[in-house]
Structure 1
Amino acid sequence: MQKVPMTVDGEKALREELDQLKKVERPKVIKAIAEAREHGDLKENAEYHAAREQQGFIEGRIQDIEGKLSNAQVIDVTTLPQTGKVIFGTTVRLIDANTDEEKQYQIVGEDEADIPNGKISAGSPIARALIGKEEGDVVVVKVPNGEIEYEIDQVLYL
């Protein structure tokens, strides 16, 4: 199976979600199923069916997270030599060549991506254009409405 790149924070967040699902959500839904069963006829019991559906979702998510964690390749950029090169896990400060607007993104795993908080997936067009480049390089990112030119101002290994 293919390794899934993940930051230290991404692994921590998945482990916390898994813990929450196993220790809180799963027992809660099991209790809800037991209570719904006590109401009688299961064929017409909406509470029972809703709880069973929720149980299926929780169990599926638990399996998904366990699979990702078992195939995780956790990358801690703070332990890597700081070469000024953009790699997975680094935070990159960019300057839009046309507007001089500054943007900052951290390149993270697919599950960690959160654009409003400046975290972009390593598979995104911006990240793919940036990886392997260095501070001072100019990159052109193809977006749906054309191209955007960025200068890499700073690469941070946070």
Structure 2
Amino acid sequence: MNKAFTKEEDGSTPERLPDLPISEHPNHVTPRGLAQLRERQSVLEAEVARLRNNREFLDDLYPLAVAERDLRYIEARLSSAILVTPPDSASQVSFGTTVTVEDENGKRARYTIVGEDEAAPENGLIAAFSPLARALMEAVIGDIVEWPKPAGTVELEILKIEV
């Protein structure tokens, strides 16, 4: 057993791992993002209970310490969550909307502006405080926005805004 993650006295109780860092940004969430956090909480609660009930069979208490730390993080994110309901209609880009853009090379892309915990850039879900989302916010169809990237600024034309 790795003593780095157990109490020295008896080796039966995992030490509390340091908490995961919490973002300094307001914790805005979409209804979907809130549901995902709640689902993650349920999964982690079940995992912690399972690991605690089977501790006598564990040679390594590290998985329990990780699950407890992750549960603390999700609970903190839920307690600070600010639900932002997407608008009924979208005349401009805002939190929770999906926007279709085209760059100067004619390449189109779709992005949905979401909360930090829901963000998955590879799936077109971008955090509201990201440089791309900040460039898109409040734009309307036909606008050209400038997206600052390390390799240079990219111009994007707003083609469509959806809720």
Q: Specify the TM-score bucket, using the shorter chain as the normaliser.
A: 0.7 to 0.9
Show the counterpart of 1:147.
153
Q: Give the superposition deviation at 1:27.
A: 2.4
Residues 156, 82 of structure 1: alpha-carbon distance in 2 compared, 3 angstrom cutoff: same
Whether the 8 Å contact between 2:90 and 2:162 is mirrored in structure 1 is no
What does residue 101 of structure 2 align with? 94
Mind listing any 5+ residue stretches in structure 2 that lack a counterpart?
1-23
Structure 1 residue 67, shift from structure 2 partner:
1.2
Question: Mapping of 1:64-143 within 5 angstroms?
Answer: 64-77=73-86, 80-96=87-103, 98-143=104-149
Q: For the aligned residues, what is the CA RMSD?
A: 1.7
Question: Which runs of structure 1 show a deviation greater than 4 angstroms over 4 or more consecutive aligned residues?
Answer: none
State the alpha-carbon separation in 2 of the partners of residues 102 and 83 from structure 1: 19
The equivalent of 2:55 in structure 1 is 33
Task: Determine helix, strand or coil for the equivalent of 2:141.
Answer: coil
**Per-residue deviation, residues 2-56 of structure 1 (Å, max 9, x unmatched):** 7510011111111111101112x112212342224xxxxxxxxxx2xx3x21111
| Structural mapping, 1:44-63, within 5 Å | 47=59, 50=60, 52-63=61-72
* Equivalent position to 1:13, from 30, 36, 41: 36
Which residue does the alignment assign to 1:4? Answer: 27
Q: Secondary structure at the match of 1:111?
A: coil
**For residues 91-145 of structure 1, what are the alpha-carbon distances to aligned partners after superposition, in whole Å with 9 as ceiling and x for unaligned?**
010011x211110000011111111211011111110111121111100111111
Cα deviation digits, residues 56-110 of structure 1 (max 9, x gap):
1111111111111111111121xx24241111111010011x2111100000111
TM-score, normalised by the number of residues in structure 1:
0.82
Secondary structure at the residue paired with 1:141? Answer: strand
SS in 1 for 2:153: strand
Identity across matched positions, percent: 33
Taking the aligned partners of 2:154 and 2:116, their CA distance within structure 1 comes to: 23
Assess if the C-alpha contact under 8 Å between 1:18 and 1:62 holds in 2.
yes
What is the one-letter code of the residue matched to 1:87?
S
- Structure (1 or 2) with the greater helix fraction: 1
